[in-house]
Amino acid sequence: MSSNAPYNATVDCPPTLTDRQVIDFCRNGFLLLPGVVPDEINRRVVDYLETVNDTYEPTPMMEQEWFVEGVLKNPEAAGAVRSLLGRNFTLPNIISNHRGPLPWPHVHGWHRDGGSLYTPKLEYLQVFYWPEECTDDMGPTEVLPGSHFLRTKAPLMAHYGKIAGTVSCAGPAGTIFLTVYGIWHRRTRATSGPRGVGQFRNLLKYNYWRTTAPCRDWRIEPDCDFNLINFDPPKPVAFEQFQGGIAAARMFCWLCGIEDEYTFRGGQCWPIVPTVRAGANQMGIPPSLKRDADI
């Protein structure tokens, strides 16, 4: 049966992220956009999930133009996706719903999703959307910032419990958060009683894909001095000193399309010395990112 859903359709829109915001995404591995989807769209989504398709894969919702326009092409979310994946990124072809009962006494195990790769390349994004408010007592997803650079295998993470420095992705209705696919995450315990229209926690999840080579075509900040920016993921995390920042810088260079310009030479070279005197270039900074480089 044919479908009018724009599965894998390519989309373009204005990028919304700046240089510093793209670097923050590389450092953290996620970006939270609270309440960006309008309430009217949120209500229609919840109604659809309650009355039309309450499965764990309500992909046919993409046949609804209001969903595609209001959620998948939401200007702030799609603008962030455009910034990170470049022009003509694709829309998803699968929509999952992590629909959970409330309350739910168990904490899900820490994991990275199946199919994860450890790479500086950002070929796709995993995106989540709360159509209804999700508070901290409703078992929101939590993520470990910077963990997209921490290598392990999901079955070897099952004994992990509380980790310092995690971030709750709780947010008001219409919140969207973008993640590097391999970031460590889990569903937390839901202590609340039933809430919302369906008395469930609905969390939609879908992927966008890159179709063009990476280049620095997001919102350029002419005053951004890449010598003075801290690339390290937030602490406390489990990195040997500077290793997280080096990995984040490598990802940023790949996104800029200057991967070939960057080799970490060791010692005190870019990006690990953001305390360098203003006006000086760190040793080893890629030529395209030097002060006074042509943009």
Q: Whose structure tokens read 């203003």?
A: 278
| Residue span 20-39 as binding mask against another protein, x where in contact by CB under 8 A, dash where not | --------------------
Under rule CB under 8 A, residue 118 binds another protein: yes
Residue 67 or 239 with smaller CB distance to another protein: 239
Q: Whose structure tokens read 């992705």?
A: 169
Please list every residue from 87 through 116 that binds another protein, using CB under 8 A.
107
Under rule CB under 8 A, residue 66 binds another protein: no
Q: How far is the CB of 161 from another protein (least distance, A)?
A: 3
Closest CA to 70 of 38, 97, 27, 47: 38
Residue 93 or 230 with smaller CB distance to another protein: 230
Instruction: Give the C-alpha distances (Å, rounded to integers) separating 247 from 29, 46, 72, 222, 243.
Output: 11, 39, 30, 24, 6
Q: Whose structure tokens read 């000086």?
A: 280
The only residue of 18, 64, 93, 152 in contact with another protein, by rule CB under 8 A: 152
| Residue span 198-237 as binding mask against another protein, x where in contact by CB under 8 A, dash where not | --------------------------------------xx
Based on C-alpha coordinates, what's the Rg of the chain? 20
Per-residue burial over 41-71, b if 16 or more Cβ lie within 10 Å, else e, is: bbebbbebbeeeeeeeebbebbebeebbebb
Take residue 214 and report the two structure tokens written for it.
């990476």
Q: Whose structure tokens read 């373009």?
A: 12
Please list every residue from 240 through 259 that binds another protein, using CB under 8 A.
240, 243-244, 247
Instruction: Give the length of the chain.
Output: 295
Residue 9 or 107 with smaller CB distance to another protein: 107
| Residue span 158-177 as binding mask against another protein, x where in contact by CB under 8 A, dash where not | -xxxxxxx------------
Under rule CB under 8 A, residue 48 binds another protein: no
Number of residues that bind another protein (CB under 8 A): 22
Q: Are 198 and 52 in contact (CB under 8 A)?
A: no
The residues that touch another protein, with contacts defined as CB under 8 A, are 107, 118, 149-152, 156, 159-165, 236-240, 243-244, 247
